[in-house]
């Protein structure tokens, strides 16, 4: 049954093979193998290409997430601004409008990147429609409804971010290094920032009105709980992301620590000022704390996390492309080699078969002298030799038939190979003893049995037997004999026909050789050869440790060829770094346990010493005696160097080689402990290079880097080895002095000596390539003793002292004084109040009359005043310089411009004021904005006023700072009808030539000259000169600070017809100003 089934299954293949020549069989098998190889290679290519395509799609998804995150950030800011406006801060409406433009632009960027089908999704349309409702009706809703609507919009966008992450495969990614990063930035981080945004919105509103309801307390506690829960999830996600991205672990945890720390500050502020109903913090300060936390989170998102994910995906694409290229680079040469070897095998095998066939046919024809002549040394050669032997024996048989018959029988019985005689019907007629041993059956059971029934594949056995009749013989025919016990034996059969005296075929002589052990040995040798030629270096020695064999990897690692080391002792590789004790312990482990593994330092042929991972195993025979030693070695030079480099990058500044902030903090903490333990003082010196930005701007950053390197070297030369010199970043350095005196006075003296030494050293000229450059430092110093101050407090004290050194004229050393902290705190408080003043509309515009000689009002100057809720009226001279420094002057200047234009609009309907020209002061920082002219146009357009009614006053120093740019902007302003006046004229250094270039409408004589025109001849001459110069250039003149009738008369006498000053009116609020105009009209 089994034989019939096997015959039936194999019949199509055997029938086809029976019809094909050897050449066609070989070509067909080669073609099938080639097709299989190509299909496999193509499948591999398709899979790798799919990885590249999906990775590129992930990059597309990240490109959409970035503007979505910006939309969330802008919407959160819009929520806060809307809350402020609904609370009465109408001056923030322009910023609200600006933020609406930002949101619209961000949504446009998102939509531009979305596929057409995604833009049609309901979730996206809901976002757009929701925003339109907020934009159209938000300011008409209640405070809580407005916040809720914004929060719902942001929630929809957050869900859309998750949908985008899913759609583009970011969250389904099997690469865990990017999966956890994407999950962190698209879910945990954005949710944490949204909770902070909600706390900011509700907290600012509560602090603005200084009262909180029980419902609001519950809401704030809920938001705090949600924030803490999200921060916990964020920490877990960051830990997972760091686990698969160890190279950015510090960045991830720094991001989390900053967000967590800022969040805790916000939570503490909520508990101490809102939930406790203490209300000590004002809304502006609370808004500043939360905004700083949120903005820092978004900065980390944009500048660190998103670029990191993009870089990881790009690396994956590059790695996949490299794999694809290397696969084809290896596969194609292998394919050519296989084809080449197949052709060679075909040629040699076919030639051997043809020679065998020729000899067999010749011998069959009766040519007993014909023999097989083969040039090969394979199994076919053995068959040929066997055939030649058989021919010799048969020839001898003809000579001595009886003797030959007995001799042949003896050979058959003595043969270890299986020998059978089979008749034409396929029945066994004779066997030898080896056949009984191989089959497990005795002679009686074998004689007369079917030959093919003793094999695992009877059909194949029968086919081989039948081929004898069609081909005249079969050589090296592989079959598997089934032993009566069930085991199997691999054999190679040679089938030959035997004939009667007339040449008729009586049957077949079958000889089989057991090749079971040979096949096992060949397989073992193939495995051993493959393993031996691995990527790891391998060495085999005898029991006396004499090298017998090495592989190619050993030669590549050590530089020694096989010929150079065979016969040598492995100690030729020793570097000398390990002593005798080390090698004694190593051999003891080998002798006791049979193996040893560890790291050693060896020497290459070229003398280079390198680290390697070494494993030695003893090989023993059946008696337990060591016959060989096998050693595997792996070069770990790169891995050790990489570990050292990573450690250096983590703790040292790459530019100067000095310790960085992290290492400084690590050293400062034990220094504080040592100071406490030994009761000895230490010191911190904070060093900042003066005017370093000028060097970068003039000579470039390369020269700046050279200067910083030389500064680091000089600082190191100024201190002891036990002290620390660190670079914090930029041009900031810190020197930590340890083990100073126990006495504060002596420690101060010691620190001052080092500080003065640093000053002198850093004041020496620097040679920067071909440039000689001079630079000076500003140094702030503070002492420490144990844990009286924290690390952050010490650095802050040294930093404050350094800024006082700069304020004192730079190139100086200053020690920290608590009064410095008070000054800094007062300034910070004023800045915080100034920001709150903008948010709460604490500014008011005052107006001062400008009259002509007939006492007629022709205009006014708009002058800003600050009504502080605690300190009362604050002079502009106290807060304008601070606003100039911190950039708030831009918002204040915009408020002044918008308020002035709004007042002009209000005056248009009043016949007393519709002719007045209103002057507004413009700061240098505001004027030098690239879009300043466009800002003026926008304000004029939004108020729909006559531009001729607006006059902008520019200071003389502002005009001369960048005269070319100033002239361009002044001409642009005059083209739209705005008038330009030069304020405080005479206090600067204007020349007549520069004045003639300027398109001025008016010069204002500074009050410092007007004050003494009647008592100081020099001031009188200056005023006369200014008036004459202006009249000659056709420029209008106005004098400010006119306080007496005599001053007015002098000015009028010298053709200055416009005046402004306390003689006519001091600056007053708009109600008093308009009342003053009415009284003047009644008097007329």
Measured CA distances, 381 to 348, 353, 491, 516, 798 (Å)? 11, 10, 17, 20, 93
Dump strand ranges (E) for 971-1022: 979-985, 1002-1005
Alpha-carbon distance values, 98 to 95, 105, 235, 904 (Å): 5, 11, 35, 23
Could you read off the pLDDT of 26-79 as tens digits, one per residue? 677 777 877 877 877 777 778 777 777 877 887 888 888 889 888 888 888 888
How far apart are alpha carbons 869 and 273 in whole angstroms? 19
Contact, 797 vs 816, CB < 8 A?
yes
pLDDT of residue 491: 84
Strands 682-689 and 777-784: antiparallel
Spelled out in words, what is the top-level CATH class assigned to the domain 533-641?
A: alpha beta
May I ask the CATH class of domain 828-1083?
A: alpha beta
- Tokens 């050897």 correspond to 22
Distance of CA 970 to the CA centre of its chain: 46
Question: Within the chain, how many helices (H) and strands (E) appear?
Answer: 39, 26
Say if residue 340 is exposed, middle or buried (CB neighbours under 10 Å; 0-12, 13-18, 19+): exposed
Query: Alpha-carbon dihedral of residues 694, 696, 698, 700, nearest 10 degrees?
Result: 180
- Could you state, in order of their start, the residue ranges of all structural domains in the chain? 47-328, 373-521, 533-641, 652-816, 828-1083
Q: How many of the other CB atoms lie within 10 Å of CB of 327?
A: 14
How far is Cα 1064 from Cα 1043, in angstroms, rounded to an integer?
8
pLDDT score for 994: 64
Which positions ≥6 away from 859 have C-beta within 8 Å? 850, 916, 917, 918, 919, 951
Q: Is 574 helix (H, G, I), strand (E, B) or coil?
A: strand
List the beta bridge partners of residue 951: 919, 979
Over residues 253-264, the pLDDT tens digits come to 777 787 788 788
CB 756 within 8 A of CB 763: no
Beta strands 950-955 and 917-921: pairing type? parallel
| Per-residue pLDDT, 527 | 52
CATH superfamily of 373-521: PAS domain (3.30.450.20)
Closest Cα to residue 925, out of 879, 949, 894?
A: 894
Q: What CATH code is assigned to 652-816?
A: 3.30.70.270
For residues 334 and 326, the answer to whether their CB atoms sit within 8 Å is no
Region of 88 (left: φ > 0; alpha: ψ -120 to 50; beta: rest) is left
SS (H, E, C) 880-948: HHHHHHHCHHHHHHHHHHHHHHHHHHHHCCCCCCCCCEEEEECCHHHHCCCCHHHHHHHHHHHHCCCHH
In the prediction, which pLDDT does 757 show?
A: 94
Contact 702, 813 (CB under 8 A): no
Distance CA 86, CA 140 (A): 9
Question: What does the DSSP assignment read for 475-533?
Answer: EEEEEEEE-TTS-EEEEEEEEEEEE-TTS-EEEEEEEEEE-HHHHHHHHHHHHHHHHHT
Q: From CA 374, how far away is CA 353, in angstroms rounded?
A: 9
Instruction: For residue 365, give every residue at least 6 positions away whose Cβ sits within 8 Å of its Cβ, in sequence order, or none.
Output: none
Give, for 427, the enclosing helix (H) or strand (E). none
Give CA–CA dist 981/958, Å, rounded.
12
- Residue 443 · residue 421 · CB < 8 Å: no
Which pLDDT score is estimated for 243?
Answer: 80
**Same fold? 533-641, 652-816:** no
DSSP string, 254-279: HHHHHHHHHHHHHHHHIIIIIITS--
Q: Which residues of the chain have pLDDT under 50?
A: 1
């Amino acid at each position: 049954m089994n034989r019939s089934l096997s015959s039936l299954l194999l019949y199509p293949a055997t029938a086809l093979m029976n019809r094909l020549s050897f050449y066609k069989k070989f070509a067909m098998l080669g073609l099938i193998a080639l097709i299989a190889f190509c299909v496999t290679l193509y499948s591999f290519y398709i899979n790798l290409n799919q990885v590249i395509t999906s990775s590129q799609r992930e990059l597309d998804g990240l490109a959409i997430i970035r503007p979505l995150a910006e939309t969330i950030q802008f919407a959160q800011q819009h929520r806060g601004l809307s809350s402020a406006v609904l609370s009465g801060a109408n001056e923030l409406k322009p910023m609200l409008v600006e933020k609406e433009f930002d949101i619209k632009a961000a949504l446009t960027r998102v939509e531009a990147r979305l596929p057409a089908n995604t833009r049609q999704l309901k979730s996206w349309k809901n976002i757009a429609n929701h925003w339109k409702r907020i934009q159209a009706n938000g300011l008409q809703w209640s405070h809580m409804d407005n916040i809720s609507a914004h929060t719902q919009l942001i929630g929809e966008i957050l869900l859309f971010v998750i949908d985008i992450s899913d759609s583009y495969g970011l969250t389904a990614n099997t690469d865990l290094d990017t999966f956890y990063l994407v999950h962190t930035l698209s879910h945990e981080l954005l949710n944490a920032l949204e909770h902070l945004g909600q706390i900011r919105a509700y907290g600012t509103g509560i602090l603005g009105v200084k009262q909180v309801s029980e419902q609001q307390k519950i809401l704030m506690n809920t938001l705090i709980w949600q924030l803490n829960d999200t921060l916990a999830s964020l920490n877990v996600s960051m830990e997972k992301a760091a686990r698969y991205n160890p190279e950015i672990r510090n960045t991830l945890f720094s991001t989390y620590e900053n967000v967590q720390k800022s969040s805790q500050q916000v939570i503490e502020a909520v508990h101490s000022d809102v939930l406790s109903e203490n209300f000590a913090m004002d809304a502006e300060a609370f808004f500043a704390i939360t905004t700083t936390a949120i903005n820092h989170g978004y900065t980390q998102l944009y500048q660190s996390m998103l670029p990191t994910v993009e870089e990881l995906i790009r690396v994956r694409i590059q790695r996949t492309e490299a794999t694809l290229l290397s696969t084809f680079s290896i596969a194609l040469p292998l394919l050519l080699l296989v084809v080449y070897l197949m052709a060679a095998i075909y040629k040699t095998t076919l030639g051997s078969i043809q020679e065998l066939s020729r000899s067999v046919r010749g011998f069959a024809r009766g040519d007993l002298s014909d023999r097989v002549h083969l040039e090969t040394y394979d199994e076919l050669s053995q068959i040929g030799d066997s055939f030649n032997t058989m021919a010799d024996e048969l020839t001898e048989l003809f000579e001595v038939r009886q003797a030959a018959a007995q001799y042949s029988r003896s050979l058959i019985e003595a043969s270890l190979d299986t020998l059978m005689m089979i008749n034409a019907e396929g029945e066994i007629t004779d066997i030898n003893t080896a056949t009984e041993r191989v089959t497990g059956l005795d002679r009686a059971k074998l004689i007369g049995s079917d030959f093919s029934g003793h094999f695992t594949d009877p059909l194949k056995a029968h086919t081989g037997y039948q081929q004898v009749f069609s081909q005249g013989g079969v050589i090296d025919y592989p079959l598997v004999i089934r032993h009566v016990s069930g085991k199997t034996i691999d054999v190679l059969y040679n089938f030959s026909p035997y004939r009667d005296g007339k040449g008729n075929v009586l049957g077949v002589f079958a000889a089989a050789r057991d090749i079971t052990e040979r096949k096992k040995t060949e397989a073992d040798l193939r495995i051993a050869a493959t393993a031996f030629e691995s990527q790891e270096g391998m060495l085999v020695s005898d029991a006396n440790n004499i090298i017998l064999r090495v592989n190619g990897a050993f030669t590549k690692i050590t530089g020694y060829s096989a010929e150079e080391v065979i016969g040598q002792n492995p100690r030729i590789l020793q570097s000398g770094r390990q002593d005798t004790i080390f090698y004694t312990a190593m051999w003891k482990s080998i002798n006791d346990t049979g193996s040893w593994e560890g790291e050693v330092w060896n020497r290459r042929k070229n003398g280079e010493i390198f680290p390697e991972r070494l494993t030695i195993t003893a090989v023993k025979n059946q008696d337990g005696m060591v016959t060989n030693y096998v050693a595997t070695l792996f070069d770990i030079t790169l891995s050790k160097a990489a570990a050292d480099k990573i450690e250096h990058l983590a703790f040292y500044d790459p530019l100067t080689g000095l310790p960085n902030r992290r290492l400084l903090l690590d050293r400062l903490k034990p220094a504080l402990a040592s100071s406490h333990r030994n009761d000895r003082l230490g010191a911190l010196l904070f060093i900042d290079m003066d005017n370093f930005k000028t060097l970068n701007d003039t000579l470039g950053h390369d020269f700046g880097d050279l200067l910083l390197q030389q500064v680091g070297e000089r600082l190191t030369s100024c201190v002891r080895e036990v002290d620390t010199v660190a670079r914090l970043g930029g041009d900031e350095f810190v020197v930590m002095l340890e083990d100073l005196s126990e006495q504060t006075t002596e420690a101060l003296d010691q620190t001052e000596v080092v500080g003065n030494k640093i000053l002198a050293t850093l004041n020496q000229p620097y040679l920067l390539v071909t440039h000689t450059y001079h630079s000076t430092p500003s140094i702030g110093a503070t002492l420490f003793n144990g844990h009286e101050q924290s690390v952050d407090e010490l650095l802050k004290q040294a930093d404050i002292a350094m800024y006082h050194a700069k304020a004192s004229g730079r190139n100086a050393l200053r020690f920290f004084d608590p009064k410095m902290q008070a000054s800094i705190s007062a300034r910070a408080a004023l800045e915080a109040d100034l920001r709150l003043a903008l948010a709460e509309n604490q500014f008011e515009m005052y107006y001062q009359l400008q009259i002509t000689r007939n006492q007629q009002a022709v205009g006014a100057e708009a002058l800003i005043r600050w009504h502080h809720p605690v300190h009362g009226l604050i002079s502009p001279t106290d807060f304008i310089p601070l606003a100039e420094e911190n950039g708030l002057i831009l918002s204040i200047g915009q408020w002044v411009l918008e308020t002035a234009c709004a007042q002009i609009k209000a005056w248009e309907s009043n016949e007393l004021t519709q002719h007045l020209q209103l002057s507004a002061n413009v700061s240098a920082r505001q004027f030098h904005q690239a879009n300043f002219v466009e800002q003026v146009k926008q304000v004029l357009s939004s108020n729909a006023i006559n531009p001729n009614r607006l006059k902008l006053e520019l200071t003389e120093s502002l005009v001369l700072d960048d005269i070319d740019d100033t002239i361009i902007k002044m001409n642009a302003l005059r083209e739209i009808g705005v008038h330009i006046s030069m304020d405080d004229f005479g206090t600067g250094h204007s020349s007549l030539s520069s004045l003639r270039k300027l398109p001025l409408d008016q010069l204002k004589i500074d009050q410092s000259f007007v004050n003494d025109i009647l008592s100081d001849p020099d001031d009188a001459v200056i005023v006369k000169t200014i008036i004459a110069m202006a009249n000659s250039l056709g420029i209008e003149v106005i004098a400010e600070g006119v306080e007496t009738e005599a001053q007015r008369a002098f000015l009028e006498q010298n053709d200055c017809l416009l005046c402004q000053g306390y003689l006519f009116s001091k600056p007053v609020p708009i109600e008093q100003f308009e009342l003053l105009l009415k009284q003047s009209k009644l008097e007329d």
